[in-house]
Amino acid sequence: MPRATQGMHMDMKAMPAGASPANNNDLPSESGEELTRIGEMAKTFGVTLRTLRFYEDKGLLQPRRDGSMRLYTRKDRARLKLILLGRKVGFSLREVKQMMDLYDPTGSNSKQLRLTLDKSEKQLARLNKQKAALDDAIGELTRGMAAVRQLLAERSPHVAAAS
């Protein structure tokens, strides 16, 4: 099912392709914007093409198009950086989108900042819980390994004792 194309301002004038000075990775548009293709984006940020398309499908990125080819602007790169930061600290894509959607370049963004702070406090608590669970798991696993080693020592023939 295709997403509702809210706010998608498809450029109606076709972009004059082929006016680029060289076969460079950066494709400067007529407006001077450095446009990045998806392969470059993926390499730069250490993600797969699928990930970038997935984020777009979820409404987190809206790169320009040249025909069917995606072209990412400086803003797209900034957004992706934020998305990956959010993912790194454990936010879901839905949460990341919720916070980013509140951004308003004309306002003070205090609402966005307060939501972000609130979510961050809760997320920090979750991370600390996860850390406790991880330590717990490491302890259990270590104990289990000792028990298994013990069983192995009992069951297997005593090979190469101190000669």
Binding site for its own copies (CB under 8 A): 85, 88-90, 108-110, 113-114, 116-117, 120-121, 123-124, 127-128, 130-131, 134-138, 140-142, 144-145, 148-149, 151-152, 155-156
Among its own copies, DNA, none, the one that 38 touches (CB under a kind-dependent 5 to 8 A) is: DNA
Min separation Cβ 14 and DNA, Å: 11
Neighbours of 106 (CB within 10 A): 5
Q: What is the DSSP string of 96-113?
A: HHHHHHT--TTS--HHHH
Which amino acid is present at 139? G
Give the binding-site size for DNA (rule: CB under 7 A). Answer: 23
Q: Does 100 bind DNA (CB under 7 A)?
A: no
State the alpha helices, DSSP H only, in 16-92: 38-45, 49-57, 74-88
Min separation Cβ 87 and DNA, Å: 5
Neighbours of 55 (CB within 10 A): 23
Among its own copies, DNA, none, the one that 125 touches (CB under a kind-dependent 5 to 8 A) is: none
- The radius of gyration computed from the CA coordinates of the chain, to the nearest angstrom, equals 25
Q: Return the residues of window 25-54 that contact DNA according to CB under 7 A.
A: 37-40, 48-51, 53-54
For the chain, report the end-to-end CA distance as a whole number of angstroms. Answer: 72
Among DNA, its own copies, none, the one that 119 touches (CB under a kind-dependent 5 to 8 A) is: none
Are residues 45 and 84 in contact, defined by beta-carbon separation less than 8 angstroms? yes
Residue position matching structure tokens 């699928």: 50
Rule CB under 7 A: which residues touch DNA? 2, 17-18, 23, 37-40, 48-51, 53-54, 58, 67-70, 87, 92-94
